[in-house]
Amino acid sequence: MTAKILLLFLVAAFATITLTEGKRNVVCYYGSWAVYRPGDGKFDVEDIDPFVCTHLIFGFAGLKEYDNSIYALDPYNELYENWGRGAYERFTGLKKINPELVTILAIGGWNEGSVKYSKMASTAEGRRQFIDSVVPFLLRYGFDGLDMDWEYPTQRGGVAEDRDNFISLLRELKAAFAPEGLVLTAAVSAGEQTIDEAYEIPIVSELLDMINLMTYDYHGAWETITGHNAPMYAHPLDDGNVTNFNVNFSLNHWLTNGADPAKIQLGMGFYGRGWSLNNIEDNGPYAPANQPIQAGPYTRQAGIWGYNEVCEQFLADPAGWTVVRDEYYQSPYAYNGRNWIGYDDMESLTKKMELIDAYNLGGGMIWSIETDDFRQKCHSGSFPLTTHIYEYLNGPIFRPTTTPCVGEHCTTPLTTTPTTTRPIYTGEPNDQCPHEGYFKIDCQNYYYCQYNPASSEWIVSYFRCADGTAYNSETGRCEWANEVPGCEA
**Domain at 79, CATH number:** 3.20.20.80
Q: What is the pLDDT of residue 16?
A: 39
Q: Is the dihedral of CA 242, 360, 394, 27 positive or negative?
A: negative
Q: Is 200 a catalytic residue?
A: no
φ/ψ of residue 53, rounded to 5: -130, 150
At what angle are helices 162-177 and 124-141 packed, to 10 degrees? 40
At 46, which amino acid appears? E
Residues 213 and 251 in one domain: yes
Q: Is residue 318 part of a domain?
A: no
Under 8 Å between Cβ of 246 and 312:
no
**Do 103 and 146 share a domain, yes or no?**
yes
Give me the amino acid identity at 151. E
The pLDDT score that the predictor gives to residue 349 is 97
Question: Does residue 9 belong to any structural domain of this protein?
Answer: yes
Q: Is 38 exposed, middle or buried (0-12, 13-18, 19+ CB in 10 A)?
A: exposed
- Residue 149 CB coordination number (10 Å): 24
Q: Are residues 367 and 489 in the same domain?
A: no
Name 420's Cβ contacts closer than 8 Å, sequence gap at least 6: 381, 387, 391, 396, 397
For the whole model, what pTM was predicted? 0.80
For position 430, what pLDDT does the model report?
87
Predicted local distance difference test score (pLDDT) of residue 407: 36
pLDDT of 450 reads 65
Are 46 and 125 contained in the same domain? yes
**Residue 413: inside a domain, yes or no?**
no
- Is 468 inside any structural domain? yes
Do 384 and 451 share a domain, yes or no? Answer: no
Q: Are residues 81 and 27 in the same domain?
A: yes
Is 336 part of any domain?
no
Active-site choice (78, 151, 309, 436): 151
Tell me which residue of 234, 183, 232, 235 sits closest to 210, measured CA to CA: 183
Indicate if 136 and 256 belong to the same structural domain. yes
Find out whether 383 and 374 touch, Cβ atoms under 8 Å: yes
299 domain residue, yes or no:
no
| Pair (164, 106) in one structural domain | yes
Identify the pLDDT of residue 236.
Answer: 96
Residue 472 belongs to domain with CATH number: 2.170.140
Number of structural domains (the chain) is 2
Give the pLDDT of residue 454: 52
| Residues 358 and 458 grouped into a single domain | no
Whether the Cβ atoms of residue 228 and residue 285 lie closer than 8 Å to each other: yes
Judge whether 294 lies within some domain: no
Indicate if 390 and 452 belong to the same structural domain. Answer: no
The verdict on residue 310 lying in a domain is no
Q: Are residues 111 and 187 in the same domain?
A: yes
State which residues form the domain around 162: 3-269+345-399
Task: State the pLDDT at residue 477.
Answer: 64
Q: Residues 317-326: contacts with CB within 8 Å, 24+ apart?
A: 322/283, 324/284, 326/228, 326/231, 326/235, 326/285
Per-residue pLDDT in tens (0 to 9) along the chain, 489 residues: 333 323 333 333 333 333 456 789 999 999 999 999 999 999 999 999 999 999 999 999 999 999 999 999 999 999 999 899 999 999 999 999 999 999 999 999 999 999 999 999 999 999 999 999 999 999 999 999 999 999 999 999 999 999 999 999 999 999 999 999 999 999 999 999 999 999 999 999 999 999 999 999 999 999 999 999 999 999 999 999 999 999 999 999 999 999 999 999 999 999 999 999 999 999 999 999 999 999 999 999 999 999 999 999 999 999 999 999 999 999 999 999 999 999 999 999 999 999 999 999 999 999 999 999 999 999 999 999 999 999 999 999 987 764 444 333 333 333 333 333 333 335 678 888 888 777 889 998 888 776 665 566 777 767 677 667 788 887 666 777 788 889 987
Judge if 378 and 264 occupy the same domain: yes
